[in-house]
Structure 1
Amino acid sequence: MERNMQDLGGKTAFVTGGASGIGLGIAKALLGQGMNVVIADIRDDHLDSARAELDGGDKVLPIRLDVTDREAFAAAADKAEETFGKIHILVNNAGVAVVGPTEMATFADWDWVMGVNVGGTVNGIVTMLPRLLSHGEGGHIVCTASMSALVPVGGTTIYSSTKAAVTSMMECMRPELEARGVICSAFCPGAVQSNIADAGKTRPAELAETGYAEADKRRQDGGNFFHLYQTKEEVGERVLRGILDDELYILTHSEFLEGVRERGEATTLAVQDHLPENPEYKETFAMLFRNPAITEEIARQKRLKAERG
């Protein structure tokens, strides 16, 4: 199967949560490469402002979409194909968050965040992957996870769990789909100037019962740190570079280096390497012990770092 996703001009990208924050930054970067861009978002006001900011004319298609609605997702994909033809890039970016002590979480807190962050990603994959595979021109799936997937910390149990799941999806799908022309990437940013803190405004009424009301109030009263966060344009360009370079992990902030390294060291040291290996077990289930996509990513990142000097 042909895969030429380094030449993006004239191809089509479908970006969920695409009307603000990270999604809008990604849409802007892809539009700048000559792509047609579908911005799918649950908020009409954000869709209106995003269309004006992108100023892409008939190369931008805004669609109102709740990513937890499977029928609506399929209808949005149909509309995108009717407008632009084949879809080549799917960016599963829509996400929500709650943070606070785990014992304060209600079932509604879990169901809402899991439904959007994991369920919405699943809906995107099930809806779009067959379409990406069918046209034979190659494709790319980027799922917005978080550095919380790689450096999880206390007080973020629900959010970090969803982002770890999304990262694992990409790690598993990558070796399965790359030979068929579809590249999969986990985008794990640190703090970005986005509207995720206001996601509660679109929380369904049936999932409104939260144990985090007081924790959320304290967070909002804790000050505005936007000046410390990367801009949507910075992360949009980072994702674009990750797509062009076929990166499995698209990371942003250097401040996480020590935490990522420590996690890798801790898991490495926990391996029971003092026990003798069972050669028959190792040979029979060889496919379980290494992910070739991760091995290839090590070589890729070493090459990219060398090229950047």
Structure 2
Amino acid sequence: MTDMNNKIAFVTGAASGIGLSLCKMFLEKGAKVMMADIDEKGLLAAREELGGGDAIAHIVCDVAEYDSIKAAADETIRKFGKVHIVVNNAGVSLAGRPGQIYPQDWRWINDINMMGVAYGCEIFIPLILSHGEGGHVVNTASMAGHIATVGMGPYFATKFGVVGYSEALFHELKSVNIGVSCLCPTWVQSNIHNTADKSPMGDKTRERFKTSSSYMAVKDLIENGMSPDRYAALCGQSIEANRLYVFNDASARQSLVERHKSVLADYDACLEELKDL
């Protein structure tokens, strides 16, 4: 998508962080925006920050619920007539070691981080196809969708899922004039490290997460991370270039290289051993 002027964008997780900055970027490029978030108070404040006006609308939306996204899509069409860009950005995080993570928390993080993306695509892609003008899908993953470490298995699992799904969509949709970008940032200023507060297990998960070494390290890195406006500007350029992956951290490159070296080493070892089996 080389020109966003007069296009319609739908953005989840729009009340803060990367989502809010993406809304700002779309408006600066002449698009109209439907802002969606589960946090009604934050959503209203974010819309006011962006100046209101006819180019912006907002709706409360729980991405873990298919019907909630469907209602938001219907309202987007009612308000703006069509949609060209869907940004599946809402996400949460939590920490925990194997054997210590509640099943309710597994369902919670998967319903938001993975199924929220899938529902958004299933609902909005047909709407983009319907007008024949092309469009773009933006899914927020993370560098955690490419490199896993210790302490945050559920988060890594969902983000690896978003990366794989986005890559599949990239190949599936290129023939119908719909681009796909998968956002893979490391440290960008946001509230993602505090989202475990909303876990269905409440204080039990909150206490475990906020006393973990993973939380303390992540908290500092996020609070001192890249400006979300700067990252959103990069995302805008990537959408215009139809770039699949949107990275932002030079220091993570070697870790990505080492991971793929490890994958290929195991690949080659298995093929070598197969010769004797």
TM-score for both structures, normalised by structure 2: 0.91
Matched residue, 2:49: 53
Shift of 1:197: 2.1
Deviations for 1:117-170, whole angstroms, at most 9, x for unmatched residues? 011111101111111111110011010001011111111110000000000001
Instruction: Name the aligned partner's letter for residue 143 of structure 2.
Output: M
Verify: 1:142 aligned to 2:138, yes or no: yes
Matched residue, 1:107: 103
Shift of 1:276: 8.8
Given that 1:31 and 1:56 are in contact with CA atoms closer than 8 Å, whether structure 2 keeps it comes out as: no
Q: 2:210 aligns with which of 211, 216, 221?
A: 216
Matched residue, 2:60: 64
Distance (whole Å) between structure 1 residues aligned to residue 199 and residue 127 of structure 2: 30
Sort the Cα spacing of 1:224 and 1:269 in 2 relative to 1 into closer, same or farther, 3 A.
closer
Distance (whole Å) between structure 1 residues aligned to residue 50 and residue 17 of structure 2: 13
Matches within 5 A, 1:1-309: 5-204=1-200, 207-208=201-202, 210-211=204-205, 213-218=207-212, 224-226=220-222, 228-272=224-268, 273-274=271-272
Instruction: Name the aligned partner's letter for residue 150 of structure 2.
Output: G
TM-score for both structures, normalised by structure 1: 0.82
Gaps of 5+ in 1: 278-309
Distance (whole Å) between structure 2 residues aligned to residue 11 and residue 182 of structure 1: 13
Distance (whole Å) between structure 1 residues aligned to residue 246 and residue 26 of structure 2: 16
Partner SS state of residue 99, structure 2? helix
Given that 2:96 and 2:208 are in contact with CA atoms closer than 8 Å, whether structure 1 keeps it comes out as: no
Q: CA RMSD in A?
A: 2.0
Partner SS state of residue 37, structure 1? strand
Given that 1:113 and 1:159 are in contact with CA atoms closer than 8 Å, whether structure 2 keeps it comes out as: yes
Q: Percent of pairs identical after alignment?
A: 33
Shift of 1:103: 2.2
* Number of aligned residues: 271
Shift of 1:203: 3.6
Deviations for 1:246-272, whole angstroms, at most 9, x for unmatched residues? 101111111101101111111122223
Given that 2:190 and 2:223 are in contact with CA atoms closer than 8 Å, whether structure 1 keeps it comes out as: no
Deviations for 1:207-266, whole angstroms, at most 9, x for unmatched residues? 548556233234666774555201110111111111011101111111101101111111
